[in-house]
Structure 1
Amino acid sequence: MQNFKIKVEDDGPVIDELERLLKIQGEDILYTIPTYPTGRTLSVEKRKRLVDLSVKYGFLLVADEVYQLQSVPHVTRPPPIFTFDEHDTVLALGDFPKNKIVHCLAHRSSELAS
């Protein structure tokens, strides 16, 4: 597995830069944390573009949605990335606070279990 850094704006990564890197080296998996406990979050547009890129370049988009349900005053969270997945390319991770239980959502969950 190879890690790489890309520039980040207020509403998330610079998607054009990400796509440039994908064209050069391709990836099998892209891991992201779209919602942060500080209230910063990926915009709906960038969430959709990440899903589109996962379809276009054939990688699994792993979205760690652990902070999705935490409320932050004066912040309306966009829907989880998983809700934009129509092509079975997103794996959403989350947890139940204070229980040390992690859950996973995927359209192809039976395939992932094997």
Structure 2
Amino acid sequence: MAVKEVICNDPKEREKYKEALIAITVDESLKRYCQRIGRHDFWGGESELLVLSKLCKQPIIVYIPEHEHRRGGGYGSGFIPIAEYGAEFRGGWGKGNNKKNVVRLLYSGRNHYDLLR
């Protein structure tokens, strides 16, 4: 609902999320997107992660299972990062208490993500 409010309800605020707007409007009009995002069966994806990372000032890294990355098969038990959002919010040395823990998500196909702990 936070993404809907920012992208669909506030044209001035929407301008802060140009990267997400581009991703959204590649496949559909903004009007159509705003209709769909309000439905209970809407699943978020990359566009929503772009907005949420910035809106919440939260670093997010998306992973896939290692075995899905290998073309020749194999049974790796690790995870490979495939996307990172909000890296600027990670903090670091000398920045005091501004450091945020990264939210790690496992991408499970199409637009489904699970929290990776």
Tell me which protein shows more helix as a share of its residues: 2
Q: TM-score, length-normalised on structure 2?
A: 0.25
Q: Which of structures 1 and 2 has the bigger CA Rg?
A: 2
